[in-house]
Chains A and B, each alone.
Chain A
Amino acid sequence: MPPSTDPFYAGLGQAVRIGTEMLAALIVGGGLGWLVDTYLFSSGPWGMVAGLILGAFAGVRNAYRMAQRWPK
């Protein structure tokens, strides 16, 4: 059976995706900030702080964009 036919399971699949989406954005944001701190400016923790905040924004934005594409 194609998994999208049952609306309950399709919705479950969509919901499971959102968690990973937010986590991945947070990890990438923090990682980029850490890279900037360590290899570019040696700017203490501030790069990572800014990166984590950006990552949180990006995660929410990804989740929002995904919810916009929700199947009817």
Chain B
Amino acid sequence: MENPLHPFELHPFVHLSLLGVDISLNKAVLMMWVVVALVAGLLIAAGTSRRLVPRKLQSLAELLVEFIRGMILDTMGREGMRFFPFVSTLFVFILFCNLLGLVPGSFTVTSQIVVTAVFALFVYSMSIVVGFSLHGVKFLGILVPSGTPAWMLPLMIPIELVSQLARPLSLAVRLFANMTAGHTVLAVLFGMLVSMPFIPAPLAVKVGLFFVLVVLIVMRRRIVASAGIVGLILWWCLIPVLLSIIWIRWLPFVVSIAINGLEVFIAFIQAYIFSILTCVYLGDAIHLHGHEERAH
């Protein structure tokens, strides 16, 4: 069986270097270019018509804008709207990387920890820069939760320091691990699709069973009508058994399709989590201690 981790291997197509830095082209770089071109093309096409009553593409783009606007207003308040371009770019880019990675033969850029770690470090250092530029030295107060008694400070400051430093790590690892795990499961299932042994039976038997299967599917209503619930149960038991004797690989096939659907959902939810945590961290930097009173 093929190594299920082989979809994550990168081999450069073209070797390039700039001032000693390796900038070779590989699948991940090309995929990012495709994502950027696709997103830019779609959103520019959606934005040019500007109808009062939107068509399909424009209403999708309006849905996206409303969604991200609501996310920012919930977590950061009105002051956060200046980060709208940043957060929406991040969301759309990660979402399209995740979704396009599900197309067979393409590459999931977000399954490389380098990519997610650079995003996470950028977001986190941005929140620190924003915090220091808005609050000055008082921003160090983020290490002291509001209402801490003075004798607790030697304990609380290290704990808060660790919990702050854990933020970029959890941000990067979450996206990377979700993408890698899902694609590994898919690769294992598709590997089973190739390597699972057939049930040995003569071809004539298989052809005969195939006709029985067709008859069973066509006659389903009449079987249920004449034999009632017993007939229905029998029908549901017989179909997979017959199918397995003819072609056992229907099992990994069906499961891999179901997992693919789950992966589409995970692509959405991970892009959403990444961008909402970006909002939360930036919001912490904007409202120093403000969030704990506003939380419900």
> A: which residues have CB within 8 A of B?
1-4, 9, 12-13, 16-17, 20-21, 23-25, 27-29, 32, 51, 54-55, 57-59, 61-62, 68-69, 71-72
Contact = CB atoms under 8 A, between A and B. Distances in A.
Interface residues of B, number: 28
* Interface SS of chain B: helix
A57 B155 CA distance: 10
Contacts of A68: 292, 295
Contacts of B296: 72
Nearest to A5: B67
Given A3-B268, A23-B170, 9 more contacts: A2-B63, A2-B67, A2-B272, A20-B177, A29-B162, A54-B158, A58-B163, A61-B159, A69-B280
Contacts, number: 77
B79 interface: no
A24 to B, nearest CB: 3
Contacts of A29: 162, 166
Interface in B171-190: 173-174, 177
A32 B161 CA distance: 10
B269 A3 contact: yes
B194 interface: no
B165 interface: yes
Nearest to B66: A2
Contacts of A69: 280, 291, 295
B272 A24 contact: no
Contact of A28 (B71, B169, B268): B169
Contacts of B214: none
Contacts of B162: 25, 28-29, 32, 51, 54-55, 57-58
A68 B75 CA distance: 13
